[in-house]
Amino acid sequence: MTNMQKRIGIDAGGSLVKIVIEEKGKLTYKKYPIEKLDDAVGWLAILAQQAEVNVTGGKAEYLRKRYFPNAKVVTEFDASCEGARYLIKKSRLKIASKFMLVNIGTGTSWYLIEAEKTERILGSGIGGGTFMGLGKLLSTRTEYSQLVEQAIEGDKANIDLLVKDIYHPEDPPIEGTLTASNFAKAAETVAHSESDRIAAIVNMIAETIVLLSNQTAKLHQTQEIVYIGSTLIENSTLQAGLERFSSMVGLTPHFLQDGEYCGAIGALIV
């Protein structure tokens, strides 16, 4: 990173716009809902007229054409991987040279990173968009932070059919708290709350991501998984689920501080 000219990396995705400003060697992080993209970037374009700007994400071309005509557009996949490398080095995380990077944004992408090589190998529509969409369908709350809070308060066991439920009153042959069927109890007269529904959504997302991660990691012969992305912001329920399920299937999960900014950081330094 240079400590000369001010530089800005912008990652405008499906849910959030993430901005990283580098000035005198120091990084400043900012994020805004994608609905406020023009407000957030409008003032930035005025204040940073002499700055070097790089952009990435689905709205990258829109930003270049409307606000930053001299901006470099960086491929989203490259930006995410380079940003992750930077944060791994900065945090001094001890990790094998070959690992899986799982970016949980509006959807989810899987990358294989080995030394200087990167490859996007899988994508899924399950992610933060799923959390927000189903959350709004199954709750009276509409804000991300409110839904995250509900997930913390809820109990997925009131919605999901668990292995121990099927085998009751006998002992199950596998871990009883594992999900036998997501949302199956909603078809019954089992009492549950809005918070239980949201907890069940988060559980379904975590299980699905880990199942795909496990299959992909085995195929590419690695156990190291690094989880990043905006859906992990203050989402302790999702992180706990990812950590628990990953460990259960033999994966070694890692979470990067400021991991939601990988794309913006990568755009800055590529």
Picking from 155, 159, 157, 154, the residue whose alpha carbon sits closest to that of residue 188 is 159
Strands 52-56 and 72-73, by their bridges, are: parallel
Half-sphere exposure of 83 (CA within 13 A, CB side): 34
- Bridge partners, 264 (sequence order): none
- Distance between CA 171 and CA 148 in Å, rounded? 33
Helix, strand or coil, per DSSP, at residue 143:
coil
Quick count: other Cβ atoms within 10 Å of Cβ 45? 16
Known catalytic residues?
A: 76
Helices (H) and strands (E) in the chain, counts: 9, 12
Contacts (Cβ under 8 Å, ≥6 apart) of 210: 241, 242, 245, 246, 249, 251
91-101 per-residue burial string, b: 16 or more CB within 10 A, e: under 16: eeeeeeeebbb
